[in-house]
Amino acid sequence: MSKEEKKTEIVVIGMGYVGIPMAALLADVPNFYVSGIQRRSQRSGWKIDWLNAGKNPFEGDEPGLDELIERVVTNGKFHVTPEYDCVDTADYVLIDVQTPIDLYTKVPMYESLKAVSERAGKHLKEGATVIIESTVAPGTTNNIVEPILEKASGMKRGKEFYLVFSFERVMPGKLIEYITDFPRVIGGGCKEANKRAKHLYGKVVKKELQVTDTLTAELTKCIENSYRDVNIAFANEMALLCEDFNRNIFEIIELINHRHDRMMHHPGSGVGGHCLTKDPFLLLYGHDAYSEKNFSSRIKIVPYSRELNDFMPKHMVELMEDGLRQARKFVDNIKVSLMGVSYKADTDDTRNTPAKNIIESLMKRYHSHNIIYIAHDPYVKKRDYDMTELTDDIEKAVENSDVLLFATNHKQYYDLNLEEIKKKMRTPIIIDGRNIFDKKDVENLGFIYRKVGEGPQNQDI
């Protein structure tokens, strides 16, 4: 076997929305052999057998992933295990575990990251390259992961093993595309580490591989997502403002974005997902913990944006209350139907979904009231949502309902027969958090309608 044909062994730790598509793409490269590591936990352990059978564990539309997983498993290029023995011979170890924050303190929860780093370090061979793909607070790779790996392995970074931070940019519904067709930022601790990471990613990434230092790469990921969160917060604030003016923010956004150099974001029922809801806090935490100077008193836009975006699910409740007042009904002895549980349309991803915050707000505010809750979602399974009854049957969800709260813009919601749905409801109220419906059309059918970003009254030109 020539040098070019040398077998490369890769381990990907964490079989989630990042680890699975990355592992499958790498396993599809000639002479790359990939082992996935997944805990046999009660919640996620089933993925081991599922993936080893060549099946995609994600619901929703993920173009190309079903075929890719089936192919690499059939070809003997990819398998999943709960054990770490495969790290013994691995040339590359990719860490793709969740790095959440504490909901109250906003401090990173690195239990999984620390645990897998220690376990992998104990098996790490000399010359191996470890790549952190999980999003972390700036300074984490150098100050937390590096010492753990060095202690567990007995080796030194940059001499006997290599450590890189190279963040993912995946999005449910476009898992493969966002790996292959987006530029990749590589932040290694030395030239050799960057060289090795470029070799790996160059096999699957079609766009530019951008090399920098570790801290800059960590900052890039957190600032990139904070930028989007801040822009969404601006859109949400303008939506609230337009409601007060009794105008439609979506019409205004269309007028603004008609300029080729403007691209205003859209408001909605809240920001969800694993990234935007925590990465701004990771940025702020890293700044407080590791920055050389601390001007934290001047950092105001990022935390306020998080506060505003977290308020939007509560605003959905406010809109519901307003609709009930118009119907002359109390928030008592009613049925509330939550339409859409995942945070993103046409996926099963419920991580930090605003839908849960809507229900939580209602339950806290009206804990002593007689409210029946039911949630509808065509993709989400009960293992990922347990706050209320869950169904994939539209008719069951709307039967005798008083309020339909649309928190997710699943494509099937755009094609609903609202005339038939109105006949099944007890009180025809729709609260639209995702700009799914046209106000005049819905109200002409006899619904009471409220939408994030549009005032309650129609305004004719």
Check residue 458 and give its pLDDT: 66
Q: Catalytic pick from 86, 222, 275, 356?
A: 275
Q: Quick one: which of 171, 179, 167 has its CA closest to 61?
A: 171
Residue showing tokens 């009960």: 382
Number of H helices, E strands in the chain: 16, 14
Q: Catalytic pick from 77, 174, 221, 356?
A: 221
Please state, as a whole number, how many other Cβ atoms lie within 10 Å of the Cβ of residue 449. 24
Q: Judge whether residue 440 has pLDDT over 60.
A: yes
Looking at the structure, give the CATH architecture of the domain made up of residues 3-207: 3-Layer(aba) Sandwich (3.40)
Point out the least confidently predicted range of 5-9, 90-94, 247-251: 5-9
Residues 6+ apart with CB under 8 A from 104: none
Q: Where in the chain is the domain with CATH 3.40.50.720?
A: 3-207, 315-451
Q: Where in the chain is the domain with CATH 1.10.1040.10?
A: 222-302
Q: Judge whether residue 2 has pLDDT over 50.
A: no
Q: How far apart are CA 351 and CA 409, in angstroms?
A: 16
Please state, as a whole number, how many other Cβ atoms lie within 10 Å of the Cβ of residue 175. 26
Check residue 42 and give its pLDDT: 82
CB 283 within 8 A of CB 272: no
| 190-206 residues labelled b (16+ CB within 10 A) or e (exposed) | beebbebbbebbeebbe
Q: Assess whether 278 carries a catalytic annotation.
A: no
Q: Give the mean pLDDT of 284-295.
A: 84
Half-sphere exposure of 330 (CA within 13 A, CB side): 5
Cα dist. 165→133, 228, 239, 332, 430 in Å? Answer: 6, 21, 37, 52, 45
Confidence of residue 25 (pLDDT cuts 50, 70, 90): very high
Q: Judge whether residue 275 has pLDDT over 90.
A: no
Within 257-408, strands assigned E span 334-339, 371-376, 389-391, 403-406
Q: Judge whether residue 294 has pLDDT over 70.
A: no
CATH number of 222-302: 1.10.1040.10
What pLDDT, in 10s, does the model give residues 70-129? 999 999 999 999 999 999 999 999 999 999 999 899 999 999 999 999 999 999 999 999
What stretches of 344-461 show up as alpha helix (H) in DSSP?
A: 354-365, 394-398, 418-424, 439-444
Tokens of 350: 């419920």
pLDDT, greater one: 367 or 78: 78
Check residue 60 and give its pLDDT: 82
315-451 CATH choice from 1.10.3720.10, 3.40.50.720, 3.90.1280.10, 3.10.310.30:
3.40.50.720
CB 310 within 8 A of CB 419: no
Confidence of residue 189 (pLDDT cuts 50, 70, 90): confident
Q: Give the mean pLDDT of 9-33.
A: 97
Q: How far apart are CA 375 and CA 356, in angstroms?
A: 10
* Dihedral angle over CA of 100, 104, 108, 114, nearest 10: -80
Cα dist. 262→233, 267, 448 in Å? Answer: 16, 16, 34
Q: Judge whether residue 1 has pLDDT over 50.
A: no
Q: For the chain, what is the mean pLDDT? A: 94
Q: Assess whether 275 carries a catalytic annotation.
A: yes
Q: How far apart are CA 198 and CA 204, in angstroms?
A: 10
Q: How far apart are CA 271 and CA 226, in angstroms?
A: 12
Q: Quick one: which of 27, 31, 23, 25 has its CA closest to 6?
A: 31
DSSP 143: I
